[in-house]
Chains A and B, each alone.
Chain A
Amino acid sequence: KQEVTQIPAALSVPEGENLVLNCSFTDSAIYNLQWFRQDPGKGLTSLLLIQSSQREQTSGRLNASLDKSSGRSTLYIAASQPGDSATYLCAVVPEGFQKLVFGTGTRLLVSP
């Protein structure tokens, strides 16, 4: 059974810092991995999608990497801003299944 874990559970940083969020999964047989952002009381916003054949994806200040063999993905946020404060979730689609398995999430707070 696929399990997805995110570290740290919570993170508080001053504005401007570069930071890394970690996601690990127990079964390397995945179709893709997706990073989401969730603001309080809101739905999820897709940030980056990495197919199993890819190693990384970039969008603006965000860069996500994928190492399937070690079961790890990282989300790098450059020059963090208060508007980045949210909960970040990673999720994987296991091979042979259609449904995502979500990580436990990282609550990020960027202070001005």
Chain B
Amino acid sequence: GAVVSQHPSRVICKSGTSVKIECRSLDFQATTMFWYRQFPKQSLMLMATSNEGSKATYEQGVEKDKFLINHASLTLSTLTVTSAHPEDSSFYICSAIKGFRQGPNTGELFFGEGSRLTVL
């Protein structure tokens, strides 16, 4: 398998501050990464698709100015929660496709360990 590392695993911040979460593919290049949000006992909700060197594609209802996504290299994507509020508290998970380039996606998806954000 492939390894996707997510950091930090846990973060607590005050309301109004910004928090950055990193997602790295350690042993493969990922042109596409995905960011998810998960509420307790619920499945994953896709927030945005991050493509290296271009702007992220956000899902309907996700505020792009609040959840800033940057995919500056083939191994790193970052999610910044700006002006965080208690309702932003959640479990955020990233994933990366191994072997995906263009056209149909036949690659396998690998996930990071997730980041638990708590906004006080």
A contact set with B: CB distance below 8 Å: 31-32, 34, 36, 41-46, 49, 51, 89, 91, 93, 95, 97-100, 102-105
Q: List 22 A-B contacts (CB under 8 A).
A: A31-B105, A32-B105, A34-B109, A41-B91, A42-B113, A43-B111, A45-B111, A46-B109, A46-B110, A51-B106, A91-B109, A95-B104, A98-B49, A98-B100, A98-B105, A99-B34, A99-B46, A99-B49, A100-B46, A100-B109, A102-B44, A104-B43
Which B residues touch A93, using CB under 8 A?
105
Cross-interface CB contact of B108 among A49, A97, A98, cutoff 8 Å: A49
| Chain A, interface SS category | strand
What is B's interface to A at a CB cutoff of 8 Å?
1, 4, 6, 32, 34, 43-44, 46, 49, 91, 93, 95, 97, 100, 104-106, 108-114, 116
Across-interface contacts of A51 in B (CB, < 8 A):
106
Interface centre among B95, B105, B114 (most CB of A within 10 A): B105
The secondary-structure label for the interface of chain B is strand
Q: B109 to chain A: closest CB distance in Å? A: 6
Contact call A102/B43, Cβ cutoff below 8 A: yes
Q: Is the CB of A31 within 8 A of B104?
A: yes
Contacts of B46 in A (CB 8 A): 99-100
Checking B4, B91, B106 against A31 with a beta-carbon cut-off of 8 angstroms, the contacting residue is B106
Q: How many residue pairs at the A-B interface have CB separations less than 8 Å?
A: 54
Q: Contact check, B114 vs A42: say whether CB atoms are below 8 A apart.
A: yes
Q: Pick from A42, A89, A103, A105 the residue with the most CB of B within 10 Å.
A: A42
A46 near B43: Cβ-Cβ < 8 Å: no
Q: Are A43 and B113 in contact (CB under 8 A)?
A: yes
Q: Name the one of A41, A49, A103 contacting B114, with C-beta atoms under 8 angstroms.
A: A41
Question: What CA separation (Å) do A97 and B49 show in the bound complex?
Answer: 11
A97-B57 Cα distance, complex, nearest whole Å: 12
Provide the bound-state CA to CA distance between A32 and B104, in Å: 10
